[in-house]
């Protein structure tokens, strides 16, 4: 029998042998040409290949529609200088809401509303060809026409969600483009709007949504519910109320993210409790049941009528499955001062860090576009935000802070130091195979840019350092989840005995439940 020698070193220093990412905060990666009015930037990474899809919306000959770019793991654009503009449909001169997600079969799906009030999904393969045709597939039996949401299934298909300001429409699209039954969510005497999706067990989905009463002007009574569905349209149990009736502006919407245990967290900011703005957190388990006592949720900060706690963005610790949530503090009187905090909240509603940990203090500037992402091994997280200039609130830099899971600052980094007006992405990629990506548009003169960041605060390429090689131990990783070659491309199978001599990246689960990424050298003699 051939002997297999395995040596492991940490991924963060080795993954990017031929990386094109820059470490220059002045000249970041230019990934596409676009107009200065471009916005609604979304990112999604293929977990198997490390390729990242970036979508933005801008004006074109067929209206204000979406365009997409694919980046390889090393940051190289693949779809030309301008990306792929979706031209098979016509759009309004404004956005009715778009969504995008990478699929499990190495493609991307874009979902949007068109000028003829249809919701359409388009699937683009990694080579830039259209899997379902350039015009895509019309969804929801032509009922919905706004606010599409998407979440990828585990078989190459996607869940899609839309609404018509009275009802929600939910449908599973199979990988080959065939449609499962359309689900209609009707609130009776209430309007049902603004749904969010998280994937459950066996490709089921949880839908969180808002019941909105008819109010006066922009104000209304709202409640938040959660309900599960299977891909064939079957409802899984009864809808559960997460948030009790609160009165506030209809434009303040909730968000939902998976908790890593087939349940999820939802959060929303509003002034309904104590007439002071705060962000409230809710949680539901893998059966769609609320795990936090009461229906007011847990505020991220002690309510203070003199300050607002808003603009929240959450991630989940992959080890404890607690919510790590960043938010902005601003004064209620003039909203002229600004601070960034993070807090840690358990699924039962314990606020672990009290009134939060200060990330960025008031320094005569404004902070916005807060983005929070957990490291894959559960050792910490990053907070990325836009920091305005002292001279003008309209020009800014992009900053990042790394913290451990005790809230201690590990590093600070300026991702882009050039001052200009910019539109920052709605989400980051999250950490995938050791790197996280953020993108923005130069709103002064156009151009879409991106930058990677590693858990140690490194930007750009990182060459391997073989001096850090440690001998393989059997208990280092108890379950191998996925294997990739050194370029980040997936390798079939997870049995290391089947691999040829060479260098590989494995993603594995440790005995204490951490997901880790390691470089593995296999030498068969």
Asked if residue 306 has pLDDT above 90, the reply is yes
Q: Quickly state the pLDDT bin for 286 (edges 50, 70, 90).
A: very high
Q: What's 129-158 look like in SS3? A: CECCCCCCEECHHHCCCEEEEEEECCCCCE
60 and 7 assigned to the same domain? no
Q: What pLDDT was estimated at residue 478?
A: 61
Angle at 508 between CA 228 and CA 495, to 5 degrees: 110
Asked if residue 4 has pLDDT above 50, the reply is no
Name 330's Cβ contacts closer than 8 Å, sequence gap at least 6.
307, 308, 310, 336, 337, 338, 339
11 and 72 assigned to the same domain? no
Judged by DSSP in three states, 489 sits in coil
5 and 146 assigned to the same domain? no
- The answer to the question of residue 483 being in a domain is yes
6 and 136 assigned to the same domain? no
Q: Report how far apart, in Å, the C-alpha atoms of 8 and of each of 18, 205, 236, 384 are.
A: 20, 37, 44, 30
125 and 51 assigned to the same domain? yes
**What CATH number is attached to the domain comprising 155?**
2.120.10.10
> What does the pLDDT look like over 355-405, one tens digit per residue?
999 999 988 899 999 999 999 888 999 999 999 998 898 999 999 999 999
Name 391's Cβ contacts closer than 8 Å, sequence gap at least 6.
none
- The answer to the question of residue 324 being in a domain is no
5 and 49 assigned to the same domain? no
Q: What pLDDT was estimated at residue 462?
A: 47
Q: What pLDDT was estimated at residue 168?
A: 96
- The answer to the question of residue 519 being in a domain is yes
482 and 519 assigned to the same domain? yes
**Could you give the number of structural domains in the chain?**
2
Alpha helices per DSSP H over 87-221: none
- The answer to the question of residue 251 being in a domain is no
Asked if residue 90 has pLDDT above 80, the reply is yes
Gap between the Cα atoms of 400 and 431, Å rounded:
14
Look up the domain containing 523 and give its range.
Answer: 1-18+473-525
> What does the pLDDT look like over 40-56, one tens digit per residue?
999 999 987 889 999 99
143 and 178 assigned to the same domain? yes
Gap between the Cα atoms of 318 and 321, Å rounded:
5
Q: Quick one: average pLDDT of 76-102?
A: 94
Boundary (domain end) residue, out of 128, 152, 185: 185
Q: What pLDDT was estimated at residue 514?
A: 64
- The answer to the question of residue 487 being in a domain is yes
Q: Of the candidates 63, 19, 15, 85, which has an alpha carbon nearest to the alpha carbon of residue 448?
A: 85
> What does the pLDDT look like over 441-496, one tens digit per residue?
999 999 999 999 999 999 997 433 332 333 344 445 567 877 877 555 677 778 87
Between 434 and 31, name the one with better pLDDT.
31
Contact 367, 385 (CB under 8 A): yes
Q: Report how far apart, in Å, the C-alpha atoms of 160 and of each of 124, 476, 500 are.
A: 16, 39, 41
- The answer to the question of residue 365 being in a domain is no
> What does the pLDDT look like over 54-64, one tens digit per residue?
999 999 999 99
144 and 91 assigned to the same domain? yes
123 and 7 assigned to the same domain? no
- The answer to the question of residue 77 being in a domain is yes
Number of residues that make up the chain: 525
DSSP string across 337-378 = -EEEEEEEE-TT--BTTTT-EEEE--SS--EEEEEEEE-TTS
Boundary (domain end) residue, out of 154, 185, 216: 185
Backbone φ and ψ for 11, nearest 5 degrees, come out as -65, -35
Token pair for residue 385?
């935000």
- The answer to the question of residue 356 being in a domain is no
Contact 115, 66 (CB under 8 A): no
171 and 44 assigned to the same domain? yes
Boundary (domain end) residue, out of 150, 185, 220: 185
3 and 109 assigned to the same domain? no
């Amino acid at each position: 029998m051939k002997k297999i020698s395995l040596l492991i070193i940490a991924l963060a220093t080795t993954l990017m042998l031929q990386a094109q990412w820059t470490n220059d905060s002045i000249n970041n990666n230019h990934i596409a040409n676009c107009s200065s009015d471009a916005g609604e930037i979304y990112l999604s990474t293929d977990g198997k290949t490390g390729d990242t899809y970036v979508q933005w919306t801008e004006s074109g000959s067929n209206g204000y529609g979406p365009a997409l770019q694919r980046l390889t793991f090393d940051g190289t654009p693949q779809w030309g200088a301008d990306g792929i503009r979706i031209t098979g449909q016509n759009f309004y001169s404004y956005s009715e809401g778009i969504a995008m997600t990478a699929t499990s079969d190495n493609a991307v799906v874009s979902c949007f509303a068109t000028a003829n009030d249809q919701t359409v999904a388009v699937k683009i393969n990694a080579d830039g060809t259209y899997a379902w045709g350039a015009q895509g597939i019309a969804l929801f039996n032509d009922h919905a026409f706004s606010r599409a949401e998407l979440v990828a299934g585990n078989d190459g298909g996607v869940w899609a969600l839309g609404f018509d300001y009275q009802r929600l429409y939910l449908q599973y699209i199979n990988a080959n483009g065939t449609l499962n039954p359309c689900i209609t969510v009707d609130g009776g005497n209430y309007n049902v709007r603004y749904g969010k999706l998280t994937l459950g067990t066996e490709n089921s989905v949880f839908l969180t949504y808002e019941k909105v009463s008819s109010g006066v002007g922009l104000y209304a009574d709202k409640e938040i519910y959660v309900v599960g569905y299977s891909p064939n349209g079957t409802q899984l149990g009864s809808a559960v109320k997460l948030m009790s009736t609160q009165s506030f502006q209809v434009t303040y919407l909730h968000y939902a993210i998976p908790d890593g245990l087939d349940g999820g967290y939802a959060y929303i900011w509003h002034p309904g409790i104590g007439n002071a703005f705060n962000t409230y957190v809710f949680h539901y388990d893998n059966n769609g049941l609320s795990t936090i006592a009461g229906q007011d949720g847990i505020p991220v900060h002690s309510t203070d009528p003199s300050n607002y706690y808003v603009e929240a963005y959450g991630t989940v610790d992959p080890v404890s499955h607690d919510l790590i949530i960043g938010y902005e503090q601003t004064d209620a009187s003039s909203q002229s001062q600004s601070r960034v905090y993070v807090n840690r909240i358990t699924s039962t509603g314990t606020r672990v860090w009290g009134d939060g940990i200060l990330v960025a203090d008031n320094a005569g500037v404004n902070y916005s576009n807060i983005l929070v992402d957990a490291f894959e091994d559960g050792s910490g997280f990053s907070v990325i935000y836009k920091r305005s200039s002292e001279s003008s609130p309209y020009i800014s830099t992009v900053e990042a802070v790394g913290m451990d899971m005790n809230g201690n600052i590990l590093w600070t980094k300026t991702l882009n130091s050039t001052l200009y007006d910019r539109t920052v992405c709605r989400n980051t990629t999250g950490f995938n195979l050791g790197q996280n990506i953020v993108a923005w548009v130069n709103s002064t003169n156009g151009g879409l840019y991106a930058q990677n960041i590693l858990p140690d605060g490194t930007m750009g390429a990182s060459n391997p350092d073989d001096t850090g090689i440690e001998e393989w131990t059997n208990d280092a990783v108890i379950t191998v989840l996925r294997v990739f070659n050194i370029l980040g491309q997936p390798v079939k199978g997870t049995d290391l005995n089947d691999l040829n001599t060479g260098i590989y990246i494995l993603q594995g689960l440790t005995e204490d439940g951490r997901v880790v990424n390691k470089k593995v050298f296999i030498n068969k003699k």
